[in-house]
Amino acid sequence: MLGADGPREDQSIRVGERGLARAELLERAAGVAAEIAGAGAVAVHATASVETVVAVVGGLLAGVPVVPLPPDSGPDERAHILGDSGAGLLLAARGAYEPVKGEPPLVPVDELGRGGPVKDEAPGDATALILYTSGTTGAPKGVLVSRSAIAAGLDALAAAWEWTPDDVLVHGLPLFHVHGLVLGVLGALRVGSPLVHTGRPKAEAYAAAAQADGGSLFFGVPTVWSRVCAEPEAARALRGARLLVSGSAPLPVPVFERLADLTGHRPVERYGMTETLITVSARAGGERRPGYVGLPLPGVETRLAAEDGGPVPADGETPGELQLRAPMLFGGYLNRPEATAASFTADGWFRTGDIATIGPDGWHRIVGRASTDLIKSGGYRIGAGEVENALLAHPAVREAAVVGTPHPDLGEQVTAYVVAGTGADERTLIDFVAERLSAHKRPRTVHLVEALPRNAMGKVVKTRLGG
C-alpha cells in the first residue's frame, strides 16, 4: 500500500526542519509495528511532526487501525474519540503529550528501536484509518477507511494529476485529515515522491520550498491560497511549480483568478469527503474552470437527486444532492449501523449531503451542504456559494459566508456575513450582488464582522454564525 516498488532512491519526508530518508522512515515504522502488533486500534497524537508520520506508517505496517487525534482537540472531544474508537494505545513523542487519567497508555514513538523489513500482509478490506468527522451535526462519527479505498483513491489521483516520483510535494496542512494525511503523506509515499511539509501553510514557507527544494506539486485549502495571493512576491515564487491543487472547501472565483494571475497556474480543484476520499477532480493535462471541481475520477459514478429522491437533469443549472458509487468509499461508521444505512440510498448510492450541479459535459460544481448552503427562499433554491462569489468580487470584501435565516414570508432569507475593508457597507454590498445575480439571490441582510469562524482546515463553520 505504501508503494515500495520503484520510488526515487533519494525519497525523503521532511516535516519542518526534520527529515527522514524513506529507508529510515520504514525502519522506524517497523519498530512501531513490532511494539503495537496485535492491538485492536491505536491513537496517534497527530501533530505536524516526523513522529506522526512514523506512527501512522507503523500502524499500516502492523495492520492495526490508526486513529489520528487532532492535537488541539478539547478534553470532551478527545475523550469521545478515544472511547468510541476503543484505541488501546496512544502514540506520540515523549513530552509531546501526557495521557490523563482514563486515557490509553503512551507509546513514545521517538524512543522505540528500529525494526527489520515488515511484510505487509493485511487484506485490502482491512481498516487502515478511523477518521472522525467534524461533528457539526452531533458527536463526531468514526469513519472506517480501508486499505484498498486509500490505494484506489491515491492511484486515481496520481493518474489525474500526473503525479510521479519526480515531483516534490509541498504542503503545510494538518496531519489528521484526508487532505494533509492521506493525500499529503500517504500519497507521497505511494507515488514515491519526496515530501516537504512546511509545518504551517504560510505563503513564505511555500515560496521557500519552491525555490530551495524544487517544489513542483503544492497542496492548499482556499484560506492558504488566499493568503498566498495576499503576498504577491511569495506567490510569484510558485511560477516554477508544475501544479497547484486546492481542496477541502470551494475556492472562491476571485482567489482562483488572482492566483492564476500571480503564479501563472490555473489551480486544480477537486472534491471529496472523509467518507469518500477524493472522487471528482480537474485534470493536470486538461481544462480548469473557476468555480468547478471537475470530472469524476476513473471508477467513480455520480448522479444528482431531488429532495423526493427523483432524478435531477445534468443541465448545469438545476441543483440536487450529489450521490456516488466508487471504489474509494468508506466501510461504514464505527459502531453505528443505523447511521451507515441512512447514508446510502436503497439502490446503493452514497448520499454525500452536498448540493451540486452537473453540466451536459460532466463538469461538476458544488453549491454547498444541503444542511447549510442550500437556501429555500420564496420558492427559489439558492446556492450560498454563488452569492459568496458575487460578494467576493467586490474589491473591499476579504471574506464572505452566506446562510439562510428564518423569514416570516419567504421561509428563509439570504443573509451574509462579510469581512471587509473601507468602502463596503450593507446597502452597497446588497446592491453590488443585485447587479450581478438574479434579484431573489441578493442578500437581504449583510453583517459586517471582524472574522469568520473556521475549523482547523480553514473551512467556515456556518453553524457558529449568529446575529
Nearby residues of 465 by Cβ (< 8 Å), 6 or more positions away = 401, 403, 417, 452, 453
Q: What is the pLDDT of residue 1?
A: 72
Q: What is the pLDDT of residue 7?
A: 45
* Mean pLDDT of the region 30-45: 96
- 142 CB-side CA count, 13 A: 27
CATH 2.30.38.10 placement within the chain:
267-369
Cell numbers describing residue 263 = 503564479
- 242: confidence class by pLDDT, cuts 50, 70, 90: very high
CATH 3.30.300.30 placement within the chain:
374-464
The answer to whether the beta carbons of residues 171 and 163 sit under 8 Å apart is no
Mean pLDDT, all residues of the chain: 91
- 209: confidence class by pLDDT, cuts 50, 70, 90: very high
Can you give the pTM of this predicted structure?
Answer: 0.84
- The yes-or-no verdict on residue 244 having pLDDT over 90 is yes
Helix, strand, or coil (residue 406) = strand
Q: Tell me how many degrees the CA angle 22-189-174 measures, rounded to the nearest 5.
A: 105
* Mean pLDDT of the region 220-239: 94
Residue 403 pairs in a beta bridge with 415
Whole-number percent of the chain with pLDDT over 90? 73
- Distance in angstroms (rounded) separating the CA atoms of residues 215 and 235: 13
Centre a 10 Å sphere on the Cβ of residue 439 and count the other Cβ atoms it contains.
7
For residue 270, report the phi and psi dihedrals to the nearest 5 degrees.
-145, 165
- The yes-or-no verdict on residue 12 having pLDDT over 70 is yes
pLDDT digits 0-9 by tens, 336-363? 999 999 999 999 999 999 999 999 999 9
- 98: confidence class by pLDDT, cuts 50, 70, 90: confident
Q: What is the pLDDT of residue 373?
A: 75
Q: Which CATH superfamily is domain 267-369 in?
A: Luciferase; Domain 3 (2.30.38.10)
Architecture of domain 12-200: 3-Layer(aba) Sandwich (3.40)
pLDDT digits 0-9 by tens, 386-431? 888 889 989 999 999 999 898 877 878 999 999 998 889 999 999 9
Architecture of domain 374-464: 2-Layer Sandwich (3.30)
For residue 353, report the phi and psi dihedrals to the nearest 5 degrees.
80, 0
Q: State the first-to-last Cα distance of the chain, in angstroms, to the nearest integer.
A: 49
